[in-house]
């Protein structure tokens, strides 16, 4: 038994092992609160949102909004900068599903492309604030920096013919010449 003056000593290996266990426990705990691949959205909400976003930026020779990672962008932002929009997304997505069920008897994600377009056009007329919010976030995710979860593989920048990512707020200078490049 140790006296009150004697302290148990950890070896360096025990200390590192204890730290690794603590880090793993935190990582597992944080991951346990997630819903599958999404940080905020449920799988059902993500499918509904994908159907809407893909009507805003449909696939052609370039990927659609959902294929370019827009849902990842929106989902990340809903747990960070766009927390204030959670209620709007929740009620807007529920409304979109209700409209789809009333009109076609199916989930929005299961509809044919013309039916999806009809529902999204109705959302734009019936709930313009929600539609504008989703439209704005879809375009941000599609054309923004890939580091935020959207614009997967910088696809929209390549589509626009940009050779390098745009740097906001700064002109590109060649400092050797002292003039913009």
Domain residues for 139? 43-159
Helix, strand, or coil (residue 137): helix
Residue 168 is assigned to a structural domain of this protein: no
pLDDT digits (tens, 9 = 90+) for 21-55: 655 555 444 444 545 789 999 999 999 999 999 99
Residue 1 is assigned to a structural domain of this protein: no
Residue 103 is assigned to a structural domain of this protein: yes
According to DSSP, the residues that pair with 179 across neighbouring strands are 174
Residue 177 is assigned to a structural domain of this protein: no
Residue 113 is assigned to a structural domain of this protein: yes
Split into its structural domains, the chain has a count of 1
Residue 167 is assigned to a structural domain of this protein: no
> Does pTM top 0.75 for this prediction?
no
Residue 171 is assigned to a structural domain of this protein: no
* Average pLDDT estimate for 90-113: 96
The Cα–Cα gap between 100 and 104 comes to 6
DSSP line for 21-89: HHHHHHHHHHHHTSBTTBSSS-HHHHHHHHHHHHHHS--SSS--TTTTTHHHHHHHHHTTTTGGGHHHH
pLDDT digits (tens, 9 = 90+) for 120-151: 999 999 999 999 999 999 999 999 888 788 88
The secondary element (H helix, E strand) that includes residue 179 is strand 179-180
Residue 4 is assigned to a structural domain of this protein: no
């Amino acid at each position: 038994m140790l006296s009150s003056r004697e302290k148990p000593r950890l070896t360096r290996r025990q200390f590192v092992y204890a730290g690794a266990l603590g880090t793993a426990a935190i990582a597992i705990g944080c991951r346990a609160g997630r819903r599958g691949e999404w940080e905020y959205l449920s799988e059902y909400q993500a499918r509904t949102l994908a159907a809407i976003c893909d009507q805003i930026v449909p696939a052609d020779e370039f990927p659609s909004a959902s294929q370019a990672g827009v849902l990842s962008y929106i989902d990340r932002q809903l747990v960070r900068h766009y927390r204030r929009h959670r209620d709007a997304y929740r009620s807007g997505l529920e409304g979109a599903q209700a409209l789809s069920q009333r009109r076609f008897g199916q989930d929005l994600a299961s509809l044919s492309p013309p039916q999806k377009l009809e529902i999204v056009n109705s959302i734009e007329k019936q709930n313009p604030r929600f539609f504008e919010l989703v439209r704005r976030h879809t375009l941000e995710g599609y054309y923004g920096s890939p580091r935020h979860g959207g614009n997967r593989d910088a696809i929209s920048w390549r589509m626009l013919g940009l050779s390098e990512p745009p740097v906001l707020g700064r002109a590109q200078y060649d400092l050797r010449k002292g003039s913009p490049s």
